[in-house]
Amino acid sequence: MILRQLSKARGVAGDEGQVRKIIKEEAARHADEIRIDALGNLVAHRDGDPDLPRLMIAAHMDEVGLMVTHIGKDGLLKFLKVGGIDDRVLPSTVVQVGKEGVVGVIATKPALTPQQRSTVNSSEEMFIDIGAADRKTAEKEVSPGDYVTFCTDFEDFGDDRLKGRAFDDRAGCAMLLEILSAEHQVPLSAVFTVQEEVGLRGAYVAAWDVRPDMALVFEGTTCADTPGSDEQLHSTTLGAGPALGMMDRSSIAHPGMLAQLMRIAEQENIPYQLRRSTAGGNDAGPIHLNRSGIPTATISTPCRYIHSPVSVLKRSDYENGVRLVTAFLQSIEGGFRP
């Protein structure tokens, strides 16, 4: 499963090279043209009927992570967060630092009083311990500016579930590769974007370059369907199918595309759900505002614990997402005016 390779690859926003290499090798087997733009987006074109609308399908390669900013005299590393990460998930997390993947542990000052033990320390008060005795020793292994990723294995577990790192949005990237590998009449531009987690940056330039007639964004989205969270606040539910986004902070789904996706899902008996949260945003934001406007919709794979050291998804949600997009492509082969 290509998702295994993608999840294990390290690619914090701005450093997507490992992920891009895997995708390029896989996409080259099916694309008619591949190029990488100046920002690092990978665009894989597949020719089709020129009389049909060109569809841009997009997913981002980058993940949230950390960056080393300072090495102390004691050999401990200070860092900044790259992307949105809840400080509560950081202490005691095992990480990999730099291109060589030096193993480290995130730690924080000890909690000596009841008040300290009930307070979540800021990431600014944390550090990474790589086992170095002093600065000189640490500098042999790492440098300021090195990226830091969580150290997480990819595994099947439980009831048809997968756990791994960076399912937001390596799940979307894997789905794009599956769609790209199948036969379609619709001209496709599969775009694997960079720096989504730090401002949706790659999608701006990619959409300008590709000039699609319409776009589908594949995203990993939060579930929040666990104990302690009110049901009405669940963004999505694990196992209920791919989630169609109606609105978030960056975009409102094109009503024609959304209606078509829902109609197809019901006709083909493909489970789906509507994303019930407007929090956050994704690459649909910059894409739909590009040039004179691009009809755009989002299909998300529900993922528990995103933007943390480990994520969980249900295989059936992923597979039904691929089925839904495949059926959507077939539906517009007779032409589609969103």
Active site residues: 196
For the chain, report the end-to-end CA distance as a whole number of angstroms.
Answer: 34
- Asked if residue 274 lies in contact with residue 145, where contact means CB atoms within 8 angstroms, the answer is no
Q: What is the DSSP string of 208-261?
A: HHH--SEEEEEEEEE---STTS-GGG-S--TTS-PEEP-B-SS-B--HHHHHHH
**Token pair in block for residue 256:** 């024609």
Q: How far apart are CA 259 and CA 40, in angstroms?
A: 33
Q: How far apart are CA 195 and CA 189, in angstroms?
A: 19
The angle, 0 to 180 degrees and rounded to 10, between the axes of the packed helices 17-27 and 167-181 is: 20
Q: How far apart are CA 276 and CA 262, in angstroms?
A: 15
Three-state DSSP at 101 gives coil
Residue 136: CB atoms within 10 A of its CB come to 11
Instruction: Please report where in the chains the tokens 């050999």 appear, as a residue.
Output: 75
**Token pair in block for residue 129:** 């311990």
Instruction: Please report where in the chains the tokens 């690092």 appear, as a residue.
Output: 40
